[in-house]
Structure formats: structure tokens, C-alpha cells
Amino acid sequence: MSMRWTGLAVAVTLLVGATLAIPVRASAAPGCAAPTGVYADAAPWPQGLFGPKRIWRLSTGAGQLVAVVGTGVDAANRQLSGRLADAKAVAGMSDPRHDCDGRGTLAAGMIAARPDAHTTFVGLAPGARLLSVKYTQTTSGGDSEPDPDGLAAAIKAAVAAHASVICVAVPAAHGSGALTDALRDAADADAVVVAPARIGSSDHPVGRSYPTSSPGVLGVAVAGRDGAAASTEDGDYLDVAAPGAGVVGLAAGTGGALGHKWPATDPAAAAGYAAGAAALLRAYQPKLTAAQVVDRITRTATDSGAARDPRLGAGMIDPAAAVGAPLPAHRSSPSPGPTAIPAAVAAVPPSEPYRDLVLVSGLGAPGAALLLLLAVRTVRRGRRRRWRPARQT
């Protein structure tokens, strides 16, 4: 190969290498959340459990608006590009597109993070649009404990924006009349409300969370990879469990680049996964009411045993089963695990535009090397046919 073509191959190689290594620009304000880095290892365990690419053959959550109620959503994270439809602040909060705490962004990523070739992490329902509703700056600690009336105003704002799913990333420790009224408005609007259990400690035990413990809300326990409960809150109002311990999620404070946080253990992650499942289901079966969505997600959960666990509810959510599997009449024995989509259904190609995104997300370094090889072979063939690159004048 002549020096000219060797130089061309080297240039292509450098270009490919540059696209595979995107640094995180540290821009988080002092005391605010910051990314761990860009996650590029094996797919996070919840994705291995759920197999989201199989589910996308049926539903990506397209057409659904999911409100993330909490500390704001950092819309600058590259995997949220184009996902944030709107943002609102209530109770005198600052910019809802800024998230110093990080929990709102964590939940948003579990719901709708777009596939990206530089990471194996992706949201459960990347076709859904997001609405950031900021009502609190932080999640705990004395006077900064989330205000239930502020939470009520946030839920009302989500209802007014016609959100089909409302994900409460940060629940409150107390209820209020205003919160009860807001939940009634959500029920009247047929919106699915999802809220997580909290994680306490021996020094700081937790009681009921709101609206997690309220009627009609999909109450979500936090579970780890082994299926055990990580949340310490318990009660018969917990419907299901979702991954929220030792997970990978989107980070706030990336300055417009790609960025993740891991390992993360937080109720916001579990709420995000459950809300993503609700968005997938509502997109695939739009005639289901909010109550039917909650019932279906609960009844298709991976049962942890014959008796309902007060810390895990009916068991781990199974989005594939919730979307496309026959609804079981009852759960008298443990489920063998997350339900596989039938082969005939799995053969259906993903809907646009996510067919291309699924392919790109699996490209990685081997795919880049293949592109380089094809480019070099094309150049060689061109030389044999007396083709020359155009000269600059």
C-alpha cells in the first residue's frame, strides 16, 4: 500500500478511535451530583433481566408522556437529548432542567435514556417523552424534607400537562389533604402514578411514604440483583419490586456530554424502571385504564414465593410479560423468571426509528473495525479501476 493510502487508513483509524472515546466534561456545581464516568462494561444487570431490545419489537413507549416528579432532570445529558418535552417548577423551585441532587435524572434515565454506541446502558422505554416537574431540591434531612403540598402541586402540574404516567422519584414522609386531592385529580385524568418505598437505616428508620402508600398508586419496593429488598419500608401497599440497588444510571452534571453513575442504590431508580414498564404497556395497549395498567404490572410480576412479601409486594416487575403475555388468573406458585416474548412476535422487526438505534447501540469497537476494513477494501478496488481522490485546487 502506498504512503498515500497508508495515511488515509491511519486517518480513518484515528477518526474511529476518536468517536469511541468521548470524555465526560465535569461541570457539576460544588456539592452537586457528578458522573462516575461513561459506563462501557457489560450490560447492567436490569437489562440482562428484562431484555429491553426484545420488548422494543412491541413497544418503545412512543406516544407516552412520563412526568418525573422530584429534583429536576438534567436535560443536558446526551442520552436524554430530545427526550424532554417540557419542564416545570413548583413551590418556588429553581430551573427544572437542572438537577443538583441527581435523583430526578437517575429516574429519567431508567425510563427513557436513548441508545448510544458508547455505552451499554439504555432506558426501558426510549420512545417515551419526559416532563420534568421539580418540587424539591433534596430528598431528606430536617427542614429540607420534601413537602407534601409541594408534591401535590407537582402532581397537579403533571396532570395539567396530560402526562399518562407520573413517576414520583422523590416521595414525601407525610401526606396532606392537598396531596390526596392531587391524587384524585390524577385518577380522574386516568394517569398512572408510580412511587417508591424509601431506604432507611437502624439510625433513621422510615415509616410510610406518600404517595407510595396511597390507594391506586403503584407502590414500588427497591430490589437488588439477588432479588432481595434493599428498601426498608414495608407494607401491604407495596405492589411490586424493581431494580434499584447496585444499578447503573444517568448522572447529572455532565455538561452536555455522556455520563453515568454506578453503582447506584436509590428508590428513584426503582420508580423509574416501574414507570418505564407502565409507559411500554400504555403505548402497546392504549385502551387499558390506569387501574388496569397497575393491575397488569402487579399480576405479571416475577413471584418471589407463595406468600406476598410485605417488602417486595408481588415480586420483581416483568415488563415483557406485562406488555405481551397472557394475564395470569392467579399466582399460586413462583414464576420461573422474566417472561420471554414468543418467537413469532420476536421475529417482528423493531419499529422506526429505534431499529437503527438498536443496531448502532450494538456496534461498538468490532463494528468500527469492520467499517474500517470495508473502507480500505473500497479504496484498493478504486485504485485498480484508476480511481483517484479529488485533488483540492
Q: What is the mean pLDDT of residues 219-231?
A: 96
**Residue 258's CB: how many other CB atoms inside 10 A?**
23
Q: What is the mean pLDDT of residues 326-345?
A: 51
Question: Exposed/middle/buried for 301, CB within 10 Å: 0-12, 13-18, 19+?
Answer: buried
Please state the pTM of the whole predicted model. 0.81
Q: Predicted confidence band at 145 (pLDDT cuts at 50, 70, 90)?
A: confident
State the average pLDDT for the chain. 83
Residues of the chain above pLDDT 90, percent: 68
Q: How far apart are CA 84 and CA 218, in angstroms?
A: 23
Q: Predicted confidence band at 94 (pLDDT cuts at 50, 70, 90)?
A: very high
pLDDT in tens, 347-359: 444 444 444 444 3
Q: How far apart are CA 148 and CA 195, in angstroms?
A: 13
264 strand-pairing partners = 247
Q: How far apart are CA 6 and CA 261, in angstroms?
A: 40
Q: What's CA 254's distance to the chain center, in Å?
A: 17
**What is the model's pLDDT at position 305?**
57
Q: What is the mean pLDDT of residues 211-240?
A: 96
**What is the model's pLDDT at position 328?**
72
| CB within 8 Å of 390: residues ≥ 6 apart | none
Q: What is the mean pLDDT of residues 179-196?
A: 98
| CB within 8 Å of 131: residues ≥ 6 apart | 65, 66, 67, 68, 84, 85, 86, 87, 88, 158, 161, 163
Task: Find where cell 406468600 sits.
Answer: 307
Residues of the chain above pLDDT 70, percent: 74
pLDDT in tens, 244-297: 999 999 999 999 999 999 999 999 999 999 999 999 999 999 999 999 999 999
69 strand-pairing partners = 133, 168
DSSP letters, 174-187, are S--HHHHHHHHHHH
pLDDT in tens, 106-128: 999 999 999 999 999 999 999 99
- Determine the number of helices (DSSP H) and then strands (DSSP E) in the chain: 12, 9
pLDDT in tens, 10-32: 343 433 333 333 444 555 677 89
**What is the model's pLDDT at position 205?**
76
Q: Predicted confidence band at 183 (pLDDT cuts at 50, 70, 90)?
A: very high
Counting Cα atoms < 13 Å in the Cβ hemisphere of 144 gives 11
Whether 336 has a pLDDT exceeding 60, the answer reads no
| CB within 8 Å of 163: residues ≥ 6 apart | 65, 66, 67, 131, 191
For residue 82, the one-letter residue type is: G
**What is the model's pLDDT at position 304?**
55
Task: Find where cell 400537562 sits.
Answer: 161
Q: How far apart are CA 311 and CA 158, in angstroms?
A: 28
Q: Tell me which H or E stretch contains 248.
A: strand 247-250
**What is the model's pLDDT at position 307?**
67
Q: What is the mean pLDDT of residues 70-87?
A: 97
Question: Is the dihedral angle over the CA atoms 37, 38, 43, 47 positive or is it negative?
Answer: positive
CA distances from 291 to 12, 177, 223, 282, 295 (A): 54, 22, 23, 11, 6
Q: Which of 82-96, 137-151, 338-352, 359-373 has maximum average pLDDT?
A: 82-96
- Tell me if 38 sits within 8 A of 110, measured CB to CB: no
Question: Exposed/middle/buried for 129, CB within 10 Å: 0-12, 13-18, 19+?
Answer: buried
DSSP-H helix ranges across the chain:
3-19, 45-50, 52-55, 103-112, 148-160, 177-188, 267-284, 290-299, 319-324, 343-346, 354-361, 364-384
